[in-house]
Amino acid sequence: MTKADHISPGSPGLRRLVDPYGRRLHYLRLSVTDRCNQRCLYCMPPSGIAKLNHQEILSLEEQARVARVAHSLGVDKIRLTGGEPLLRRDLPVLLQALGRLSPRPDLRLTTNGRLLAAHLDQICQAGVTAVNVSLDTLRPERFGLITGLDLEEGRRAFAAVWEGIRAALARPGLTVKLNLVLLKGLNHDELVDFARLTLDLPLAVRFIEYMPVGAAKTFAPERFLSADQALAALAGLGALEELPRQAGDGPAQRFRLPGAAGELGVIHALSNHFCVTCNRLRLSAEGRLVPCLFSDRNLDLKPILRGGGDDAALALAMLQAAAMKPRHHQQTQTLATPSGCAMSRLGG
Ligand code: SAM
Ligand code: SF4
């Protein structure tokens, strides 16, 4: 198949987002804002990064339109992310628009959890099936250090995140995952505690390798801990049962501790390329379609969205973005120069 085959208009309904390596891109990650109420040290410098002005950020209607056209090209899974998505005013308007797509896509949300409890009704009413909460420590006194808050603010924020997690676990039909970025010297001594959470709670814990991406110009290679090192740290907990891969699993390798209610997963972002299973396209807060997290190449949809372009033009741009997807990224933990768009505009 040539590149042209991927971007030819074809007949409506038959076109699908497929990259030049045959990977079907059916998972759209939509960053709804670049604003955040934290400054996680792996994501942003303490002073934050330059904010987009309001006109630069796509409106909710524009985001819904991109999602609708992507859906017509085979996207069946949409994750709202950010920045902190729950800071976006009127987010339910977007959630409802996504919930009306037919067939309804698998709707998910990634959040730092601070505002989760208050938004759960709206999230569940819109048909969101899974929330990922980013939580890198179980120790309230460490929370501020990792998230750029002072000690007291950190303790309060930690309590709010836990309230959100508990409330989410109480919602029938809502899957809850905790995402932890592995950080040597900051949380490597908590991996067993995180794993033990899965014994009693029906949630998934994901250990994610620290990645040199975007505005994390502060990438500190000495903090890197591989997913395999994380698994080795769990040796004392008993034999991990590896769970079979399921369709749509994404890059995680999944395990269960003996008798556990929940599950564990590791994401080898750098130590072992996960690119072969990549099924993602990302839309940044300012409307750039980003085919690879680690690449600076992207395609700006704003001129089409704001220049009177029709849905066919949007669809063609999406097919072009799919054709730009590299076979795999080039990053390693020894490369201290981050690449790609700022995480807080792109959403991880
Ligand atoms: N604010 C929300 C949150 O924190 O969940 C959503 C946006 S955040 C950019 C999405 C995910 O990216 C989070 O799980 C965060 O841990 C992850 N992330 C950010 N910077 C990262 C880095 N340098 N390496 C690995 N994961 C990172
Ligand atoms: Fe942390 Fe998410 Fe905010 Fe980045 S966007 S600073 S990961 S809470």
Q: What residues line ligand 2, using a CB cutoff of 6 Å?
A: 36, 38-40, 43-44, 82-84, 112, 134, 343-344
- Model confidence pLDDT, tens digit, residues 226-239: 999 999 999 999 89
Cα within 13 Å of Cα(165), Cβ side: 21
> What is the pLDDT, as a whole number, of residue 2?
42
Could you tell me the two tokens for 58? 């796509």
> What is the pLDDT, as a whole number, of residue 339?
54
Rounded CA gap, 124 and 67, in Å? 19
**Which stretches of the chain drop beneath a pLDDT of 70?**
1-14, 214-218, 247-250, 270-274, 329-348
> What is the pLDDT, as a whole number, of residue 249?
62
> What is the pLDDT, as a whole number, of residue 297?
83
> What is the pLDDT, as a whole number, of residue 219?
75
Mutate to test the pocket of ligand 1, among 37, 40, 43, 183 (most ligand atoms within 8 A of CB): 43
Could you tell me the two tokens for 198? 């899965």
All domains of the chain in start order, with CATH: 3-346 (3.20.20.70)
Beta-sheet pairing, 204-209 with 241-242: unpaired
Proximal ligand: closest to the CA of 131: 1
- Residue 348 CA: nearest ligand 2 atom is 7
Q: What residues line ligand 1, using a CB cutoff of 6 Å?
A: 36, 42-43, 81-82, 84, 110-112, 134, 179, 181, 208, 210-211, 213, 216, 343-344, 347-348
> What is the pLDDT, as a whole number, of residue 338?
52
C-alpha closest to that of 205 among 184, 228, 180, 227 = 180
Mutate to test the pocket of ligand 1, among 110, 119, 282 (most ligand atoms within 8 A of CB): 110
**Stated pTM of the model:** 0.91
Tokens 């990634």 found at: 110
> What is the pLDDT, as a whole number, of residue 245?
79
Rounded CA gap, 83 and 86, in Å? 9
Backbone angles phi, psi at 128, to 5 degrees: -65, 130
The single-letter DSSP state of residue 261 is S
> What is the pLDDT, as a whole number, of residue 342?
67
> What is the pLDDT, as a whole number, of residue 7?
45
- Residue 219 CA: nearest ligand 1 atom is 23
Collapsing DSSP to helix, strand or coil, 129 comes out as strand
